[in-house]
């Protein structure tokens, strides 16, 4: 099978490093280009990353000596690849402009950045939940005036555990959600080495995170109407997002109200049997089982569950009835795998399998 040639924009960053590990031996994709800022351009990948390498596995040998390109040289990067993954730390308007330049150079962009998440014709896809939102891509191409270039985005990492857990319950008439998240430091592009003050500490503020946690699910559960995705009106979601001294893995304590009757056993059965488009298509990065329920009272835990199914599964536990909401539970997912690079690779696999990259 012919492999798709792919580039990683922001290859030196925390998410970019994850991309490099996930893509180095990917069955469908071959990394032909690495790009970052002008500061890294011209250096070998291993030298540009240097001390910043934050993964537990070493830099993939195949990529270590690859010379980094300047991401602002859009034509040069785009001419080497079939599409790019993008995860950069820049101002929002600069990211929006950069991603549109790539799309207009007929190079599809699979983005981890938040810049285009609220653009109404840019799909924000979790392949197990709203794979059908890819159908908006022709409308976006029409707006951009492109033949194959488009932008598709991943949602924020904070909601990657609770939106999957709530999704199989949506037909029960979910009205209200309260989610408190306990988020790992890799979500801020940090390690314990680069952020020593977080050890033995909690920071009760993550800029912009609560708005994303409350708004982005409404687009994911939205519907395509004409040339845009229209957000759903319900459920109403409120959240608090807290940074905790964990390297990888976001946990959420969640309370949900719904209108119809449903036993706790039935909810667990819905979770355990849930399959989405990623499982139907048997995509290479798809977990065999998306949602895992743990009956032990002290699970899921970060250390035992975050790498479940290569960090692509969502772990749930402690389901109980609640005195103010209908139910409450705890859930967890790996923030740089399912929540960032892994989720983006899975979305790219979906878009390839559905013919959007050809
Ligand atoms: N970490 C997570 O779990 C997570 C999850 C979801 C989404 N995200 C999003 O992913 C993006 C990257 O996050 P990160 O944690 O990987 O950040 P990071 O570790 O700070 O890495 C930032 C990357 O952006 C590059 N960059 C900075 N300025 C640039 C410019 N002007 N032109 C081109 N490249 C430039 C950097 O290249 P140099 O090395 O050359 O400076 C580096 O490769 C952000 O938008 C973030 O919100 C992160």
160 lines ligand 1 (CB under 6 A): no
Distance CA 352, CA 8 (A): 17
Same domain as 162, residue 148: no
Same domain as 311, residue 162: yes
Cis-peptide, bond into residue 30, ω within 30° of zero: no
Same domain as 171, residue 152: no
Same domain as 222, residue 317: yes
Question: What is the SS3 string spanning 72-125?
Answer: CCHHHHHCCCCEEEECCCCCHHHHHHHHHHHHHCCCCEEECCCCCCCCCCCCEC
In terms of Cα–Cα distance, which of 108, 96, 32 is closest to 69? 32
Distance CA 317, CA 330 (A): 5
CATH code, domain with 124 = 3.40.50.720
- Which two structure tokens, joined as six digits, stand for 347? 């979305």
**Catalytic amino acids?**
157, 250
How many angstroms is it from 248 CA to the middle of ligand 1?
17
How many angstroms is it from 135 CA to the middle of ligand 1?
28
Same domain as 314, residue 262: yes
pTM for the whole structure: 0.97
Same domain as 132, residue 178: no
Q: Whose CA is nearest to atom 46 of ligand 1?
A: 113
Same domain as 191, residue 138: no
Q: Which of 11, 15, 102, 109 to mutate to test the pocket of ligand 1 (most atoms within 8 A of CB)?
A: 15
55 lines ligand 1 (CB under 6 A): no
- CA distances for 75 relative to 78, 81, 98, 107, 119, angstroms: 5, 10, 12, 9, 24
**Beta strands 291-294; 223-225: pairing state:** unpaired
How many angstroms is it from 113 CA to the middle of ligand 1?
8
Q: Report the nearest atom of ligand 1 relative to the CA of 41.
A: 40
118 lines ligand 1 (CB under 6 A): no
Same domain as 299, residue 176: yes
Asked whether residue 301 is domain-assigned, the answer is yes
Q: Whose CA is nearest to atom 2 of ligand 1?
A: 187
C-beta of residue 167 within 8 angstroms of C-beta of residue 131 = no
Asked whether residue 183 is domain-assigned, the answer is yes
Distance CA 160, CA 166 (A): 11
Exposure on the CB side of residue 274, measured as CA atoms within 13 A: 27
Total domains, the chain: 2
Q: Whose CA is nearest to atom 40 of ligand 1?
A: 37
17 lines ligand 1 (CB under 6 A): no
| 355 DSSP β-pair partners | none
pLDDT value, residue 2: 83
- For 227, residues 6+ apart whose C-beta sits below 8 A from its C-beta are 120, 121, 136, 139, 142, 143
Q: Whose CA is nearest to atom 11 of ligand 1?
A: 87
Distance CA 100, CA 61 (A): 32
Distance CA 61, CA 219 (A): 39
Sheet holding 69-70, edge to edge: 69-70, 29-36, 4-9, 83-86, 109-111, 151-153
Asked whether residue 43 is domain-assigned, the answer is yes
Same domain as 311, residue 235: yes
157 lines ligand 1 (CB under 6 A): yes
**Beta strands 151-153; 109-111: pairing state:** parallel
Q: Residue 202 belongs to what domain range?
A: 158-334
Same domain as 279, residue 199: yes
Q: Whats the size of the chain, residue-wise?
A: 358
123 lines ligand 1 (CB under 6 A): no
* Positions of the chain with pLDDT lower than 70, given as ranges: none
Same domain as 199, residue 56: no
> Phi-psi region for residue 85, left (φ > 0), alpha (ψ -120 to 50) or beta?
beta
> Phi-psi region for residue 35, left (φ > 0), alpha (ψ -120 to 50) or beta?
beta
Helix (H, G, I), strand (E, B) or coil at 307: coil
Q: Report the nearest atom of ligand 1 relative to the CA of 71.
A: 33
In terms of Cα–Cα distance, which of 103, 67, 94, 85 is closest to 17? 85
335 lines ligand 1 (CB under 6 A): yes
Q: Report the nearest atom of ligand 1 relative to the CA of 336.
A: 3
CATH code, domain with 167 = 3.30.360.10
pLDDT value, residue 1: 73
Torsion of CA 134, 137, 138, 141, to 10 degrees: -170
Asked whether residue 358 is domain-assigned, the answer is no
How many angstroms is it from 294 CA to the middle of ligand 1?
34
């Amino acid at each position: 099978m012919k492999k798709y040639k792919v580039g990683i924009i922001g290859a030196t960053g925390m998410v970019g490093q994850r991309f490099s590990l996930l893509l180095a031996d990917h069955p469908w994709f071959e990394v032909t280009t690495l790009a970052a800022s002008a500061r890294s351009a011209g250096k070998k990948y291993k030298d540009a990353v240097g001390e910043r390498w934050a993964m537990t596995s070493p830099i993939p040998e195949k990529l270590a000596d690859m010379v980094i390109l300047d991401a602002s040289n859009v034509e040069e990067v785009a001419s080497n690849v079939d599409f790019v993954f993008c995860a950069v730390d820049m101002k929002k308007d600069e990211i929006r402009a950069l991603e549109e330049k790539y799309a207009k150079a007929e190079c599809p962009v699979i983005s981890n950045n938040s810049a285009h998440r609220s653009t109404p014709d840019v799909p924000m896809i979790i392949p197990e939940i709203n794979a059908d939102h890819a159908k908006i891509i022709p409308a976006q191409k029409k707006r951009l005036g492109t033949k194959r270039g488009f932008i598709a985005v991943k949602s924020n990492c904070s909601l990657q555990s609770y939106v999957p857990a709530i999704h199989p319950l949506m037909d029960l008439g979910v009205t209200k959600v309260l989610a408190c998240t306990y988020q790992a430091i890799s979500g801020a592009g940090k390690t314990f080495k680069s952020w020593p003050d977080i050890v033995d500490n909690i920071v009760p503020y993550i800029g912009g995170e609560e708005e994303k946690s409350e708004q982005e699910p409404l687009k994911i559960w939205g519907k395509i109407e004409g040339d845009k995705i229209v957000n759903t009106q319900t459920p109403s979601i409120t959240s608090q997002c807290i940074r905790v001294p964990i390297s990888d893995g976001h946990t959420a304590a969640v309370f949900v109200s719904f209108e119809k009757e449903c036993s706790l056993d039935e909810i667990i059965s819905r979770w355990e049997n849930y399959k989405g488009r990623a499982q139907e298509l048997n995509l290479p990065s798809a977990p065999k089982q998306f949602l895992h329920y743990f009956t032990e009272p002290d699970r899921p835990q970060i250390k035992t569950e975050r790498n479940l199914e290569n960090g692509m599964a969502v772990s749930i536990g402690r389901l109980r009835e609640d005195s103010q909401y209908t139910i409450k539970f705890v859930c967890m997912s790996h923030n740089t795998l399912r929540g960032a690079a892994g989720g983006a690779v899975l979305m790219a696999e979906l878009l390839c399998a559905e013919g959007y990259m050809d």
